[in-house]
């Protein structure tokens, strides 16, 4: 063995041991949370108090998606968001719960939209499905829809539309509602492309290759848990000179053999997971946030539904008599009367207001002139007025043109909800971090519902997601919590490469010597 090779071998062994010992608990946590996040249905019924999570996770001032919008109701308003629906009548009294009949779990109760269907009928789009409630009823009742959950509800000409993440549904106005799928086709561009961020996100979970891909990434996650624990256990038994003693020593030795053998098989998947994961948080996220890739280069099978997991919001333009869909790939438009007809296809609109990679959270006709082709578009990138006739886009708060984001793909206003509250033009809007405002800058100072005064509840899935993406460590690291994911990826890369090198180097060394 040359001196250079010997130094590299010693460095590799030292790196694998000490980096692994310093990070084995965290790597096991990342493996476990990754597997759990891949199967939300299995844990959707489980939630816990937000007060148990260190840092700023308790609801305050209707922040963190607890306000997505409001509807006039009974002389007051219905406020809705991920914590449910609440009636608000007076600033002196806290809102009261209006969620009876909706799913009990925090994950499924999440209300994405609330719609006044007329005639005393209300519709609620929740992660747990579509629900209806009539005047005089004291609870919500589920309405049949497709397998996907609804994310938006809007009105057309004498009809109501429900948008899910992948499909569009239609029902004539007036209860009882019976929704039929009218998902249009999509006119493909000459060189169609898709979001690179979304591709990387789906590849990291394995979703790009369907159930088989997810299960394969699950196996890699489970191996990461196993390898982290067995490596630390072997080191401890060896350090305490108990490697050859008793049952524990035998378990450690056998565990290490599996650790090494399986590690060679899972190394490509671990490297793949690390490399895709580090692009999901800054700084590398910035590089792909608004990037596109040619659809012809898509690495997995293409879903038969061209809208699969891309739809976010919709509206009806009475001036053009068209339906516009806000998607993760831009805005698409088609004539309303063509919906549900064979061969009907929507075309992509050029331009459009800026929308963050997380998707549109607000998409409505201009509240000041609802019969024009001016739209209000909100997301984590801000709130904008998009005037299609004049081909102009302006910041809703400042009137200025949009600015190119610098750094993370969010704006000065991380808009997650908006609602007009009177004919004079007053409005409420919510910033994800700062909470609820009335007008451009004045805090609304509304009392939280009693159910949320203790901080509210968070679904286990979201708690694990905040841990997996590193944001749960903001209470320790502040803004620098973004470093958790890239650093974890780097650690996993070092551990994987050094482990493979330590195992294969002697074999290659013998071949070279021979």
**129-180: per-residue pLDDT in tens?**
999 999 888 999 999 998 899 999 999 988 999 999 999 999 998 877 889 9
- What are the sequence ranges of the domains in the chain? 12-41+196-295+481-513
Residues composing the chain = 514
Segment 217-228 mean pLDDT:
96
Residue 428 has pLDDT above 60, yes or no: yes
Which secondary-structure segment (H or E) carries 172?
Answer: strand 168-172
Question: Is residue 377 classed as helix, strand or coil in its secondary structure?
Answer: strand
pLDDT in tens, 291-337: 889 988 999 998 889 999 999 999 999 999 999 999 998 999 999 88
Distances (CA, A) of 190 to 238, 301, 347: 63, 20, 12
CA angle (407, 37, 128) in 5-degree steps:
100
CA terminus-to-terminus distance, the chain? 12
The model's confidence at residue 503, banded by pLDDT at 50, 70 and 90, is confident
How high does pLDDT run on average in the chain? 90
CB atoms within 10 A of CB 92: 6
Of residues 281, 291, 308, 325, the one with CA closest to residue 207: 308
């Amino acid at each position: 063995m040359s001196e250079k090779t010997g130094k590299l071998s010693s460095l590799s062994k030292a790196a694998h041991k000490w980096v692994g010992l310093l990070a084995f608990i965290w790597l096991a946590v990342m493996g476990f949370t990754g597997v759990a996040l891949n199967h939300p249905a299995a844990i959707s019924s489980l939630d816990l108090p937000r007060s148990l999570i260190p840092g700023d996770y308790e609801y305050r001032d209707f922040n963190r998606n607890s306000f997505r919008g409001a509807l006039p109701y009974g002389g007051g308003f219905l406020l809705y968001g991920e914590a449910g629906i609440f009636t608000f009548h007076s600033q002196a009294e806290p809102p009261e719960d209006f969620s009876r009949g909706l799913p009990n779990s925090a994950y499924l109760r999440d209300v994405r939209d609330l719609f006044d269907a007329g005639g005393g009928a209300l519709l609620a789009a929740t992660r747990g499905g579509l629900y209806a409630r009539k005047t005089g009823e004291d609870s919500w009742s589920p309405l049949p829809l497709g397998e996907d959950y609804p994310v938006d509800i809007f009105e057309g000409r004498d009809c109501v539309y429900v948008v899910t993440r992948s499909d569009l549904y239609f029902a004539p106005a007036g209860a009882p509602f019976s929704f039929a799928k009218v998902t249009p086709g999509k006119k493909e561009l000459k060189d169609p492309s898709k979001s690179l961020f979304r591709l990387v996100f789906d590849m990291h979970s394995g979703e790009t290759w369907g159930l088989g891909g997810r299960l394969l990434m699950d196996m890699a996650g489970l191996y990461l848990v196993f390898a982290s624990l067995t490596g630390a256990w072997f080191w401890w038994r060896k350090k305490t000179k108990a490697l050859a003693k008793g049952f524990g020593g035998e378990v450690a030795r056998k565990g290490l053999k599996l650790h090494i053998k399986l590690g060679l098989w899972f190394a490509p998947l671990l490297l793949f997971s690390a490399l895709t994961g580090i692009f999901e948080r800054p700084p590398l996220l910035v590089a792909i946030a608004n990037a596109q890739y040619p659809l012809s280069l898509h690495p997995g099978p293409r879903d038969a539904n061209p809208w699969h997991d891309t739809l976010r919001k919709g509206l009806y333009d009475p001036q053009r008599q068209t339906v516009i869909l806000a998607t993760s790939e831009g805005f698409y438009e088609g004539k309303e009367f063509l919906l549900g007809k064979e061969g009907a296809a929507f075309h992509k609109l050029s331009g459009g207001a800026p929308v963050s990679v997380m998707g549109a959270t607000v998409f409505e006709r201009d509240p000041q002139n609802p019969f024009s082709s001016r739209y209000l578009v909100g997301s984590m990138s801000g709130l904008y007025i998009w005037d299609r006739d004049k081909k102009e886009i302006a910041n809703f708060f400042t009137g200025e043109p949009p600015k190119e984001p610098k750094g993370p793909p969010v704006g000065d206003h991380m808009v997650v909800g908006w609602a007009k509250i009177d004919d004079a033009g007053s409005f409420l809007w919510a910033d994800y971090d700062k909470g609820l405002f009335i007008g451009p800058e004045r805090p609304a100072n509304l009392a939280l519902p009693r159910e949320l005064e203790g901080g509210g509840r968070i679904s286990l899935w979201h708690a694990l997601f905040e841990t997996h993406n590193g944001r749960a460590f903001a209470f320790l690291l502040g803004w620098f919590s973004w470093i958790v994911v890239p650093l974890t990826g780097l650690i996993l890369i070092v551990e994987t490469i050094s482990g493979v090198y330590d195992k294969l180097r002697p074999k290659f060394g013998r071949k070279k010597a021979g």
